[in-house]
Amino acid sequence: MTDECIFCRILAGEIPCFKVYEDDDTLAFMDINPVHPGHVLVIPREHSANVFEVSDAAIAATAKSARRVAKAVRATLEPDGMNLLQCNGEAAAQSVQHFHMHVLPRAMNDGASLNWELKPGNMDAIGALADRIARALA
Ligand code: AMP
């Protein structure tokens, strides 16, 4: 836990999130600047900045949860495709320095680029999708 890390503060319950899944080692919640509806972030509880610092146990737990979440997102939204994405460093567009994986549903010819702009989402729509995905994970 670091006081400055926004994801550690979400884990501590100091900042709210739209949680879809948690277990002893990981937490999954909706990205509030979704590239597409159903964009979920999966993080380890153990703080590390990036793929170079994360422990083997934490990355394994995160990947396992990400695959589980991906299946729930697919069952909920039936997207054309899905990216599981993980960014490290400024040039890779990493904006939060706590290791995380994006579960990113895709549509055919959606034009999404790897370095996207952050645009605030509709909180009601994000919350409603969080409920649906969480139900698919129950
Ligand atoms: P990255 O660019 O790979 O570091 O991704 C960080 C992601 O965290 C971005 O897509 C942000 O939209 C997302 N994000 C930042 N703060 C929050 C938050 N409080 N709740 C949910 N998602 C967040």
To the query of whether residue 47 is one of the catalytic residues in this protein, the response is no
pLDDT single digits (tens) 101-133: 999 999 998 888 876 678 999 999 999 999 999
The three-class DSSP label of residue 24 is coil
- Give the domain ranges of the chain: 6-137
- Whole-model pTM? 0.91
Element containing residue 65 per DSSP (H, E): helix 56-77
- For the chain, strand residue ranges (E) read 19-22, 26-30, 40-44, 81-85, 101-106
Alpha carbon 24 to chain centroid, angstroms: 17
What strand order describes the sheet that includes 26-30? 19-22, 26-30, 40-44, 101-106, 81-85
Positive/negative CA dihedral, 26, 42, 98, 123: negative
- CB-ligand 1 contact for 94 (6 Å cutoff): yes
Among 82, 105, 91, CA closest to 34: 105
> Mind listing the pLDDT tens digit for each residue in 33-53?
999 999 999 999 999 999 999
Q: Separation of 100 CA from ligand 1 center, angstroms? A: 9
Q: Could you tell me which CATH number the domain at 6-137 has?
A: 3.30.428.10
**Which of 36, 98, 100, 102 is flagged as catalytic?**
100
- Pocket-testing residue among 54, 62, 96, 103, ligand 1, by greatest number of atoms within 8 A of Cβ: 96
Q: Which residue's CA is the closest to the ligand 1 atom numbered 1? A: 94
